[in-house]
Amino acid sequence: MTLMVTSLTSGYTTDYGILMLAVTLCTLPTVALFFGLQKYFVAGVLGSVK
């Protein structure tokens, strides 16, 4: 996925709209996974602080 995003910046001009769309599509699965497992993530962080 990161190679696809970097290949969008090659050339003389950069289409920032398509670049931001690609970055958003790469970020969405990570954000969805975080919000789906947020209670476990917070419990792990709070457990290590004790």
CB-CB contact of 32 with 46 (8 Å): no
Task: Give the pLDDT of residue 50.
Answer: 57
C-alpha angle 5/22/6, rounded to 5°? 10
What tens digit of pLDDT does each residue of 1-50 get?
888 888 888 778 888 999 999 999 999 999 999 999 998 988 888 887 65
pTM of the full predicted structure?
0.65
Please state, in angstroms and rounded to a whole number, the distance separating the CA atoms of residues 13 and 23: 18
Residue-number span of the structural domain to which 8 is assigned: 2-49
> Taking the CB of residue 19, how many other CB atoms lie within 10 A of it?
14
Task: Give the pLDDT of residue 31.
Answer: 94
Structurally, the chain folds into a number of domains equal to 1
Task: Give the pLDDT of residue 49.
Answer: 67
Please state, in angstroms and rounded to a whole number, the distance separating the CA atoms of residues 22 and 8: 9
